[in-house]
Structure 1
Amino acid sequence: MKFVEEVVVEEFLPTYRSLLAADLRDRGLTQSEVADLLGISQSAVSKYATGAVEVNDRVADDDRVRDLVGRVGSGLANGELSPVGALAEAEVLVRQLEQGDLLAKLHEEAFPPLAEYEGSFDVHDPESGLRASERVLSSVRSGLRTLEESPAFTTLVPAVGSNLVEALPEATRVEDVAAVPGRILDVKGHAAVPAEPEFGVSVYVASVLLAARRAGHAARAACNVRYTPAIVESIEDLGYETAEFDAVGEAERAGTADETDDDLDAAIAEALADTPDADALYQTGGFGVEPIVYVLGPDAATVADSVRDLAEAR
């Protein structure tokens, strides 16, 4: 009897690690850095990267494996993908290859009685919550890098600070939205990001995004920037559609309740009634409320690109 997990350990893992170690070394990482990212010893990295470990050519030549190596290698090297996220991506491909695919065929060859069985085993869900969360966090990290690397972005940071947020596909609460703890601030012309993104740490920007989604907007990400009439005009000059909503004060809540802000929902729903696909929402301020523009988009990386373009176009 031979389990498919044994095939993964004996055939897939050495091959995948060899390809990934070589990819990371080609990207300029040291053996020590590669070892830390992969959770293995430096001597193992040396063996993998130099081809001293036997690989399975069928696994190594599979386009999906090579695509995974490229995506994970790039994400780990630039910091947009965490080791946990890299593991989740690899696990999904492994489970896919186990379901009547390459690893299943290797399993049948290693254990011939399986060839007589025509059924399949649904071992793992490829759309796991872990994978979805890591993808959102990776997107926010990518967007933050874009904002940090744009000197012009700081001219758009409002007094209350900016935040870049992205929601899970089925988000309903603030806890389902990833953001920067605290705010992104302008520190001597540099966008200062205080910490790694995490879920449930944004109140108002996340609430605006969720309110837009409840009103039927397809956006999953948002970034708040400074408001002036000229900034709104610049957004429209770039070909984006804008919509104004009535200023609503920041809700005083811990971000854990299921209840929504009815006033905010109503204000945004009214604004989107005539412009349901608006690329940016804005309010011009009120008593104790700073005027703000909220740039919307399908993901944090795309929103960050839009904000960068806006900053550099002014």
Structure 2
Amino acid sequence: MKFAEEVVVEEFLPTFRSMLAADLRERDLTQSEVADALGVSQSAVSKYAHGEVAQNDRVRDDERVRRLVEEIGEGLATGSMSQVQALVEVEVLVRRLEDHDLIAQLHEEAMPALEGYGGDFDVHDPDDELRSTERVLTSMRRAIRIVENTSGFAALIPAVGANLCECLPDADGIDDVAGIPGRIFDVKGRATIPAEPEFGASEHVASVLLAAREHGSDARAALNLRYDLDLIERLEELGHVTAEFDAEYDDVASVVGEALSETSDATVLYHTGGYGIEPITYVLSDSAADAARVARKLA
């Protein structure tokens, strides 16, 4: 595991300080004065001057970095900029470069697990897509462990298989919903999870979840189970509000919307099947783990 801060310390700062030390020396500051300005030892300045500190070419060649080095160099040399102001300006640049920019890209290269995000993330932003995505996947993995450790879960799986999904906070399509590739099946009495959760892996259950959210539900997750009247009654005993919708639909959003218009606080949606259509129950929850816990109570 490599932190973005390590990239700053190991790649950005040595390069920036080397560049700034060289700039200040060119402005006729002594080695001692440069050391004072940078807040480092004279031996460190000597290493910068003799090229003993490795520089990152991409940081050194970045026009924004070069421009700030020149600005701070002039300010410190003339006394028009304090060390505090210089620090603030560098910190601002670092944060900009961490936000979908150069440092984010260097971080991705240093930590291959981040590949695929294309530097399009900000590790300091609590609402960044990377953090939201990983939170959803973590919740899904937690839910999978609950399913795998729930004796009797297999008996709740419909013939078409079950799926469990959770969406991003601002989900507007299937690709914003994480599910289990291949669904959950009953294999010799055990719930079998074929693969790790992925975004875009669930279509049907994800569509029901998105339809519910479109029509006012705050649910972030959904789990489909087999249907029978006893199961619905047990869910109601657990405090869930249930709503039925028509199984023979052309547009899931419209039938789910109709059901929720009559029962807006429903946390369980179900249909009783139709010609060639298996009856199904859908549990809506705040998270995939919460949906799995509901199933555990039913098992």
Q: Same fold (TM over 0.5)?
A: yes
Q: Which residue of 1 aligns with 2:45?
A: none
Deviations 1:181-208 (A, max 9, x none): 0110111111100001101111110000
Structure 1 residues 169 and 228: CA distance shift in structure 2, 3 A? same
3-state DSSP of counterpart to 2:258 = helix
User: 1:282 is matched by which residue type in structure 2?
Assistant: Y
Q: Which residue of 1 aligns with 2:158?
A: 158
Q: Which residue of 1 aligns with 2:290?
A: 302
Match of 1:114 among 84, 107, 111: 84
Structure 1 residues 5 and 192: CA distance shift in structure 2, 3 A? closer
Counterpart mapping for 1:42-191 below 5 A = 113-114=83-84, 121=92, 122-123=95-96, 124=99, 125=122, 126=125, 127-191=127-191
State the 1:165 CA deviation: 0.3
Structure 1: how far apart are the matches of 2:9 and 2:243?
52
State the 1:6 CA deviation: 7.0
Gaps of 5+ in 2: 12-81, 100-121
Aligned residues: 195
User: 2:131 is matched by which residue type in structure 1?
Assistant: R
Deviations 1:227-251 (A, max 9, x none): 00000001001111111111146xx
Segments of 4+ in structure 1 off by > 6 A?
A: none
Q: Which residue of 1 aligns with 2:262?
A: 274
Deviations 1:100-133 (A, max 9, x none): xxxxxxxxxxxx9236656662433412211111
Structure 1 residues 140 and 248: CA distance shift in structure 2, 3 A? farther
Deviations 1:36-80 (A, max 9, x none): xxxxxxxxxxxxxxxxxxxxxxxxxxxxxxxxxxxxxxxxxxxxx
Structure 2: how far apart are the matches of 1:193 and 1:128?
29
Structure 1 residues 139 and 118: CA distance shift in structure 2, 3 A? same
Q: Which residue of 1 aligns with 2:242?
A: 242
User: 2:157 is matched by which residue type in structure 1?
Assistant: V
3-state DSSP of counterpart to 2:152 = helix
State the 1:210 CA deviation: 0.5
Structure 2: how far apart are the matches of 1:286 and 1:182?
24
User: 1:296 is matched by which residue type in structure 2?
Assistant: L
State the 1:293 CA deviation: 0.3
Counterpart mapping for 1:180-219 below 5 A = 180-219=180-219
Structure 1: how far apart are the matches of 2:247 and 2:229?
15
3-state DSSP of counterpart to 1:294 = strand
8 Å contact 1:248–1:264 — kept in the other structure?
Answer: no
Structure 1: how far apart are the matches of 2:184 and 2:175?
19
3-state DSSP of counterpart to 2:83 = helix
Gaps of 5+ in 1: 11-111, 250-261
8 Å contact 1:151–1:189 — kept in the other structure?
Answer: no
Give the TM-score normalised by structure 2: 0.61
